[in-house]
Chain A
């Protein structure tokens, strides 16, 4: 009779084979997890956008069926812009009016927040006062606080302020450009201050010493040395702020008034009635614009780190 009991060597060989098989199985599970799940993620992230862009080139006004390639919806927007009389020009002109409002708000809000944001970053980097860590942390408010909360709080804030003005002067201001711009400045300061702050942290403090050493007083040193060296950071922060401003919906919604409809608000109002193909086209234009601005911002930030050290 031959013994069926495995020798210790065979046991060990079997163990190695088993372990290898388990590893292969795990790898297979891992492959599914690491390939399929991310693919699904990217699909849900990008498929709607691809769809939107594709249908902006759809020849028919249907949002459901593809009936050939066409630039006609872009043509409609463009016609509206130069004011020639196409059938859809009235709604197009409303849209362009909204686009104009958006750009105006974003420009003014960006300029103001670039100035204030840069000063905030400089103060946090160079100032000597307690609580700087807390104050730096508070800069992240717009990223942490939900837009709705910020929108509601700003609306409430302006109501209180307007009540007070009404009480004092008898006049009652209304929401509009000013309130929208103040609201946008409020969150844009953070973006500018964070980007400029990063640039400042990278900057060699010896540059300012060298300027002083060569006879430059504080203002001259700032104007001739610090500011030019910070400029890529300020531009990057500004581009980011401009983008954020341009496509903000929630906060603007709470602060807008009559005649101050921005593009996102206008698009939303159209959706309530019907989805027109122009919306696809204008959304695609906004997508391209935002991508370009953020891309430019990143380019400036990247270049900044190269020259700052």
Chain B
């Protein structure tokens, strides 16, 4: 698990810009390692450079500068057809003039695998993706979900060193997407092949990936395990892009060791852990806290505040009932905060009403201080 499979060193990719003769940087100097057997996701909004990075690993694009190293071999000048990687494309790109079996056998034939063995391995790959009976059909006769599986079989049959997946579930409906997430992860664990997975869907990245690289504007903002990215986002962008977050503008009033007291407004001060990096007094900061980590209590009948918890008082605005959850919009001074509470029992649903005064509580380490 510690062998480096793919190493990117300061990779830059520039494309000729649309207007005039300038260059746009799609990828702006990124470096990271992907380990052997890892499920690695590149997550970001469209235009963040994730697909360009994947295409550079595949060899469809050449980096403007920087280095891509695969299995210890620099890939500079190595064309796509000589790289030990295979790609599952977003729109599958199955060859329409070949049958499913011919599609899956294509890579093996290019590798000069004997016909009988190629046929057997292709059939095994189709069994693996649970499509044993469509071998003689043409791709257009299959449903989108089936085509997606064929694309997967066509790539996996070659036993690639790294499998590259470019938003492979993007065209499927939600239910099928959830099923495929489970299957993909199971397949990756079973085969032990390194997956590099590009997606803009945070749920896909969180559910499947061992590690996630969050990208924006051609940069990698943060790399970490799903829980590290979710629990300790290092920037407002990451906190906002992954999951939902309340951002409260605040001011650092004073420090107390590793913690600081920040003022949300003239009447409200809370205690929060200070980030490791330097922070000066009176600096404007942002308090980030996720809606589901806030506990809402009626003002008068709340239990005593436990140790290590913070509390502020607010006024309830709108209350939304969404079945599994309740969503409250609470005003704290000038701040608007979203709160999410699970409806564990039917009775909790209507405990708190609009215009009520409430206490909002959170465990101290669930709030993060982001420097503006």
Contact = CB atoms under 8 A, between A and B. Distances in A.
Contacts of B85: 213
Contacts of B154: 214
A233 to B, nearest CB: 13
B72 interface: no
Given A214-B110, A215-B111, A206 B96 contact: no
Contacts of A229: 95-97
Interface residues of A, number: 19
B140 interface: yes
Contacts of A206: 89, 91, 93
Interface in A214-249: 214-217, 220-221, 224-225, 228-229
A202 to B, nearest CB: 12
A307 interface: yes
Given A209-B60, A209-B80, A213-B81, A220 B96 contact: no
B15 to A, nearest CB: 14
A213 B59 CA distance: 8
B280 to A, nearest CB: 51
A214 B89 contact: no
Nearest to B102: A224
A212 interface: yes
B58 interface: yes
Interface residues of B, number: 24
A15 interface: no
B110 A210 contact: no
Contact of A213 (B58, B91, B96): B58
Interface string A187-222: 000000000000000001011011111111100110
A214 B106 contact: yes
A204 B96 CA distance: 11
B87 interface: yes
Given A215-B158, A216-B81, A210 B111 contact: no
A212 B95 contact: no
Contacts of B123: none
A224 B140 contact: no
Given A213-B81, A215-B82, A224-B106, 17 more contacts: A206-B91, A209-B87, A209-B89, A209-B93, A210-B87, A212-B59, A212-B81, A213-B60, A213-B80, A213-B86, A214-B106, A214-B154, A214-B158, A221-B81, A225-B95, A228-B97, A307-B97
Interface of A: 204, 206-207, 209-217, 220-221, 224-225, 228-229, 307
Nearest to A214: B107
A306 to B, nearest CB: 9
A210 B95 contact: yes
17 contacts: A206-B91, A207-B93, A209-B58, A209-B80, A210-B87, A210-B89, A212-B59, A212-B80, A213-B87, A214-B86, A215-B110, A220-B110, A221-B81, A224-B106, A225-B95, A229-B97, A307-B97
Nearest 3 pairs of A and B residues by beta carbon: A215-B110, A214-B107, A212-B80
A220 B85 CA distance: 18
Interface string B66-91: 00000000000001111001110101
A214 B85 CA distance: 8
Nearest to A229: B97
Nearest to B89: A206
B102 to A, nearest CB: 10
Contacts of A211: 81, 95, 106
Contact of B93 (A210, A217, A221, A224): A210
Contacts of A220: 110
Contacts of A209: 58, 60, 80, 87, 89, 93
Given A209-B80, A213-B81, A214-B154, A204 B93 contact: yes
Interface string B130-173: 00000000001000000000000011001000000000000000
Contacts of B93: 204, 206-207, 209-210
A224 B96 CA distance: 12
Contacts of A225: 95
Contacts of B80: 209, 212-213
Given A210-B89, A221-B81, A215 B97 contact: no
Residue of B79, B91, B96 ringed by the most chain A CB atoms within 10 A: B96
